Structure 1
Amino acid sequence: MQVTVTGHHIPLSHSLRNFTKQKLGKLSQHSEEILHADVVLTHQSGRNKAEVKVAIPGHNLVSHANGRDMYHILSLAISKVTKQLVKVKEKRTTRRTQAHTITTEDSEQS
C-alpha cells in the first residue's frame, strides 16, 4: 500500500511519519484491496487537523479529526477509517451471501 503523508503549516518529524505509516499498515489486516492512503496534517489557528483518505476499488473512505495532540488525532482519524473499511467489507460479504440464496417450494404439496 502506498502511503502519502503531507503537512500544511506544520513540520513533519520522522517519528510522526513512522507513526502514521505504522498505524495505516494495520489496515491491511481488514482488507488486502487498499490501493493507497493519503494523510494531510494541518496546523491552523492553534488547532491541529488530520484528514485521512483511503482508496479501495469502488470506494474512497475519508475521515477527519481535530484536536491539540497530533498523535491522538491521527489515531482517531485512522480508527474512523478502519470502522468505515470494516463496514464496507461487511456489506460486500452480506450482499454476496444474500444474492446466492435460493428458496424453492415443494411442488408435490397440494
Structure 2
Amino acid sequence: MNLTISGHHLDLTPAIREYVQNKLTRIKRHFDHVIDISVILSVDKLTEKEKRQKAEINVHIKGKDLHAESIAHDLYAAIDMLIDKLDRQVIKHKDRVQNHHSMAKRLPEEPLAAAAS
C-alpha cells in the first residue's frame, strides 16, 4: 500500500504525519485491499485572522476509488471528520461487495429449483 501525505500552504510536522497514519489504521482494519492512499492537508486564509483547515483523501481500492473531504477550524478536527467519512464509505463498499458475492452464490440454485418443479 502506498501512502502519500502532502500539505498545501502548510508545513507537515512529524506529529501530523503520525496522527494521520494512526487514524488510517482504522480503515485498514475494515478493508485490507487498499492499493493507494493520498492525503492532502491544506490551509486557506479567508481573512487575516480566520483560517480554514481542509483535509482531503483519495483511496484507490480494488474495483473503486473513494474520495472524502472535510473542513474545520482545527486541522486535527478536520482529520477526525475525514476519517469518519471515509470509514463509512469503506464499510458501505465492503457490505456491497459481500452482498454481491452472496447473491451470486444464491442465483444458480433458483433456476434449478424451478426446473425440477
Deviation, structure 1 residue 100: 1.4
Deviation, structure 1 residue 78: 1.2
Select between 57-66 and 23-32 the one with higher mean Cα deviation: 23-32
What TM-score do you get using the length of structure 2 for normalisation?
0.86
C-alpha distance in 2 between matches for 1:89 and 1:70:
28
Q: Which residue of 2 aligns with 1:33?
A: 33
Unaligned runs of 5+ in 2: 46-50
Alignment of structure 1 residues 1-110 onto 2, 5 Å: 1-45=1-45, 46-101=51-106, 102-103=109-110, 104-105=113-114, 107=117
- Over aligned residues, Cα RMSD in angstroms? 1.1
Moved beyond 6 Å, runs of 4+: none
% identical aligned pairs: 27
Deviation, structure 1 residue 98: 1.1
Q: Deviations over 1:23-76 (max 9, x none)?
A: 112211111100121100110111110001111011111001001110111011
The structure where helix makes up a greater share of residues is: 2
Is the Cα–Cα contact under 8 Å of residues 57 and 82 in structure 2 kept in the other structure?
yes
